Amino acid sequence: MHHSTQQIHDFARLFFEKTGCRKEDANIIADVFLSAELRGIGSHGLIRIIDYYNLWKAGRLNTCPQISITRDTPSTAVVDADNAPGMLSGVYSMNKAIEKASACGTGWVSCNNSNHFGIAGYYAMMALEHDMIGICLTNANPLVAPTFSVSRMLGTNPIAVAVPAGSQPPFVADFATTPIARGKLEVAVKKGEKTLLGYVQDREGNPTDDPDILRKGGAMLPLGGSREYGSHKGYCLSAIVDIFSAVLSGAGFGPFVPPSVAYLPLPEDGNGKGTGHFFGAMRIDAFREKNDFKKAMDSWITTFRNAKSVEGQPEVLIPGDIEREQEQLNRQHGIKLIPAVINELNLIAVDTGIDMEL
End-to-end Cα distance, the chain:
10
- The correct pick among 89, 249, 260, 275 for binding a second copy (CB under 8 A) is 249
Interface pick for a second copy out of 69, 187, 316, 342 (rule CB under 8 A): 316
Instruction: Please identify which residue in 34, 46, 282, 335 interacts with a second copy, judged by CB under 8 A.
Output: 282
Is residue 71 near a second copy by the rule CB under 8 A? yes
Per-residue CA distances from 94 to 31, 84, 128, 279, 285 (Å) = 15, 15, 12, 6, 19
What DSSP line would sit under 185-210, residue for residue? HHHHHHHT----TTSEE-TTS-EE--
- 136 binds a second copy, rule: CB under 8 A: no
With CA atoms as reference, report the closest residue to 182 among 91, 257, 121, 260: 260
Could you say which residues in the range 4-63 bind a second copy, by CB under 8 A?
none
Question: Which residue type occupies 236?
Answer: C
Smaller CB separation from a second copy, 8 or 251:
251
- In the list 236, 261, 338, 341, the residue contacting a second copy (rule: CB under 8 A) is 236
Within 13 A of 116's CA, how many CA atoms are on the CB side? 25
Determine, following the binding rule CB under 8 A, whether residue 132 of this chain makes contact with a second copy: no
C-beta closer to a second copy: residue 56 or 253? 253
Binding test (CB under 8 A) with a second copy, winner from 6, 68, 291, 299: 299
Site for a second copy in 104-123 (CB under 8 A): 104-106, 108, 110
| Residue 343 touches a second copy, criterion: CB under 8 A | no
Q: Are strands 106-114 and 76-80 parallel, antiparallel or unpaired?
A: parallel
Task: Calculate the alpha carbon distances from 303 to 133, 306, 315, 317, 318 in Å.
Answer: 20, 5, 13, 11, 10
Residue in 247, 254, 252, 257 with CA at minimum distance from that of residue 271: 252
Pick from 20, 74, 217, 270: which binds a second copy (CB under 8 A)? 74
Stretch that binds a second copy, among 3-11, 13-21, 66-74, 208-216 (CB under 8 A): 66-74
Asked if 204 interacts with a second copy (CB under 8 A), we say yes
Q: Can you say whether residue 246 is alpha, beta or left, with left for phi > 0 and alpha for psi between -120 and 50 degrees?
A: alpha
Q: Which stretch binds a second copy (CB under 8 A): 7-15, 84-92, 194-202, 342-350?
A: 194-202
Sequence-distant (≥ 6) Cβ neighbours of residue 206 within 8 angstroms: none
Nearer to a second copy, 177 or 275 (CB): 177
String of DSSP letters for 210-225: -TTGGGGT-EEPPTTS
C-beta of 21 vs 163, nearer to a second copy:
163
Instruction: Select from 40, 134, 146, 218 the one that contacts a second copy (CB under 8 A).
Output: 146
Q: Name which of residues 150 to 189 contact a second copy (CB under 8 A).
A: 150-151, 153, 159, 161, 163, 171, 173, 175-180
Instruction: Work out which of 147, 168, 346, 352 binds a second copy, going by CB under 8 A.
Output: 147
| Site size toward a second copy, by CB under 8 A | 88
Q: Are strands 132-138 and 335-336 parallel, antiparallel or unpaired?
A: unpaired
Point out which span in 186-194, 210-218, 258-266, 284-292 binds a second copy (CB under 8 A): 284-292
Task: Single out the residue of 287, 302, 340, 347 in contact with a second copy (rule: CB under 8 A).
Answer: 287
For 94, 207, 325, the CA distances from 221, given in Å and listed in that order, are: 30, 10, 30
Q: Which residues fall within 8 angstroms of residue 72, CB to CB, at 6 or more apart?
A: 78, 100
